[in-house]
A and B are shown apart, each in its own frame.
Chain A
């Protein structure tokens, strides 16, 4: 049952996420300058990955929803498997990035093709880029997901009976992350033009983005299952 849902999620999103993942891996493999904490290309590609995973896996268009939600799996299972598929795709991509750096694949390419003098010194230092990758991908994935779930609050498809406090909570999250994403992009642009590393800001950025990213992972399954079990499905 889970395999069927995973296959469907991959079929819906694969055409979009595979090119993004390949671009991301290719960029990390062939970039000659050292990868910093905040790499704008990695961040943007990670955001794109998160967005496509959410948008394509959860966007049941039109009356397809009636078909999908009347199968033998429960709405909870449908949501959880889709959500885990997205998380897994993000995690696996991150692990591939780690493997490329840790096992020296990037080093081999850089030294072989470009005689890159930065290696082997920065081989493990570059793992710092996973910070921007993980925060950008996870925050975008879940923020898009929240938006898509709460979009069902509006007519004609409504979450009949969803309590007011829950809607307000989600709205606050959406506003917070909207602002956070803008702040992050401004920060990244500033970093791009600044040759130094914004080392002093790192702990604060873990706080601003890391904890909320973790909170989103905890809240997402609970909120998503609630939405899936309580939404109205058009015929």
Chain B
């Protein structure tokens, strides 16, 4: 069952003279219990997509469903089941952690005081710590604590670890994994830090210019997205119908062909279709290389 779904969603900004399409017919779905990563360069549409998921923005067209409901019409019962952190979110500056907990706890029936203590220890914070007296990392930690202690079914996070030190980030990510694995919660988060994504998620969508370029299980993507390097003088016409092409670079006597649906069977077919003198090599990508390939294609 999909907890989050986006169908053909578009969203633009600006007036008629200068309009920028931030999200361009975007489709993706987040299965229940998964940790889903949203990856993309600056301006790819990650934050815009996330804001639409929690009804902070309305799409121009398309359909969005979170827990089966249109975000614009969330009931309060559904709102209780969704936790959200954004990169720049702030709590009222006069609040201490105690004040913030006092504000949030009554709003969420599943509030977890045990997790609250655990996270306070992890982030080395005290209940009396005021937001306005805190560093950037501590402020981020406060927002994370308030979101995670809600014990919601869905956790939607936009660059949640921004500003955290390495150790805090590690603790935070391992806690995310605990939540997702042990309690079957669904987590969606975006991050620029590829290492965090690679360490944490089981599914990922890579966005570029508002579109989903690649999507799927992380391990599966690494198996199916490959670069096929062809060298030879008489390669001839490339049977492009054999694979889905992400990028194709032709040089004088070589071709670099990045495909997204690589299988051994298709590769064998390619061997048979090309001249015997053609030198064929394949190589896979790690997540960072995948990200770079996607973004180099769109430049």
Q: Mark A1-23, 1 if CB is under 8 A from B, else 0.
A: 10110011001100000000000
Neighbouring B residues of A230 by C-beta, 8 Å: 58
Neighbouring A residues of B72 by C-beta, 8 Å: 229
**Given A72-B107, A235-B86: A67 in contact with B143 (beta carbons within 8 A):** yes
Q: Which of B50, B103, B104, B107 contacts A235 (CB 8 A)?
A: B50
- B94, chain A: closest CB distance, angstroms: 7
> Is B91 an interface position by the 8 A CB rule?
yes
- B153, chain A: closest CB distance, angstroms: 12
Of A24-32, A47-55, A58-66, the one touching chain B = A58-66
Neighbouring A residues of B266 by C-beta, 8 Å: none
Asked if A8 contacts B90 (CB within 8 A), the reply is no
Neighbouring A residues of B50 by C-beta, 8 Å: 235
Asked if A71 contacts B106 (CB within 8 A), the reply is no
> Is A77 an interface position by the 8 A CB rule?
yes
Neighbouring B residues of A64 by C-beta, 8 Å: 90-93
Q: Which of A7, A11, A77, A233 contacts B56 (CB 8 A)?
A: A233
> Is A163 an interface position by the 8 A CB rule?
no
Whole-angstrom CA separation of A6 from B249 in the bound complex: 62
B81 and chain A: residue at smallest CB distance: A72
Asked if A1 contacts B106 (CB within 8 A), the reply is yes
**Given A73-B107, A235-B51, A235-B158: A66 in contact with B88 (beta carbons within 8 A):** yes
Whole-angstrom CA separation of A72 from B51 in the bound complex: 16
Secondary structure dominating the interface of B: loop
> Is B123 an interface position by the 8 A CB rule?
no
- For B50, B89, B91, the residue with the greatest tally of chain A CB atoms inside 10 Å of its CB is B89
> Is B84 an interface position by the 8 A CB rule?
yes
Whole-angstrom CA separation of A1 from B80 in the bound complex: 12
B74 and chain A: residue at smallest CB distance: A74
Q: Which of B56, B58, B107 contacts A69 (CB 8 A)?
A: B56
Neighbouring A residues of B93 by C-beta, 8 Å: 64
Whole-angstrom CA separation of A229 from B72 in the bound complex: 8
- B152, chain A: closest CB distance, angstroms: 9
Neighbouring A residues of B75 by C-beta, 8 Å: 74
> Is B79 an interface position by the 8 A CB rule?
yes
Secondary structure dominating the interface of A: loop
B87 and chain A: residue at smallest CB distance: A235
> Is B47 an interface position by the 8 A CB rule?
yes
Whole-angstrom CA separation of A230 from B72 in the bound complex: 9
Asked if B103 contacts A8 (CB within 8 A), the reply is yes
Q: How large is the interface on A (under 10, 10 to 19, 20 to 34, 35 or more residues)?
A: 20 to 34
> Is A167 an interface position by the 8 A CB rule?
no
Whole-angstrom CA separation of A229 from B71 in the bound complex: 11
> Is A128 an interface position by the 8 A CB rule?
no
- B214, chain A: closest CB distance, angstroms: 24
B93 and chain A: residue at smallest CB distance: A64
B131 and chain A: residue at smallest CB distance: A64
Neighbouring A residues of B88 by C-beta, 8 Å: 63, 66, 234-235
- A108, chain B: closest CB distance, angstroms: 40
Asked if B58 contacts A4 (CB within 8 A), the reply is no
- A230, chain B: closest CB distance, angstroms: 7
Asked if B94 contacts A1 (CB within 8 A), the reply is no
Asked if B56 contacts A232 (CB within 8 A), the reply is yes
> Is B3 an interface position by the 8 A CB rule?
no
| Residues 100-145 (chain A) with a chain B CB within 8 angstroms | none
Whole-angstrom CA separation of A12 from B158 in the bound complex: 28
Asked if A71 contacts B86 (CB within 8 A), the reply is no
Q: Which of B76, B84, B87, B103 contacts A70 (CB 8 A)?
A: B84
Asked if A62 contacts B158 (CB within 8 A), the reply is no
Neighbouring A residues of B74 by C-beta, 8 Å: 74
| Residues 203-235 (chain A) with a chain B CB within 8 angstroms | 229-230, 232-235
> Is B230 an interface position by the 8 A CB rule?
no
Asked if B89 contacts A72 (CB within 8 A), the reply is no
Neighbouring A residues of B103 by C-beta, 8 Å: 4, 7-8
Asked if B57 contacts A232 (CB within 8 A), the reply is yes
Q: Which of A7, A11, A235 contacts B89 (CB 8 A)?
A: A235
Whole-angstrom CA separation of A160 from B51 in the bound complex: 14
Asked if B58 contacts A66 (CB within 8 A), the reply is no
User: Ordered nearest first, which 8 A-B pairs have the shortest CB separation?
Assistant: A233-B56, A235-B86, A70-B84, A72-B80, A72-B79, A72-B107, A63-B90, A66-B89
6 contacting pairs across A/B (C-beta < 8 A): A63-B88, A72-B76, A230-B58, A232-B56, A233-B57, A235-B89
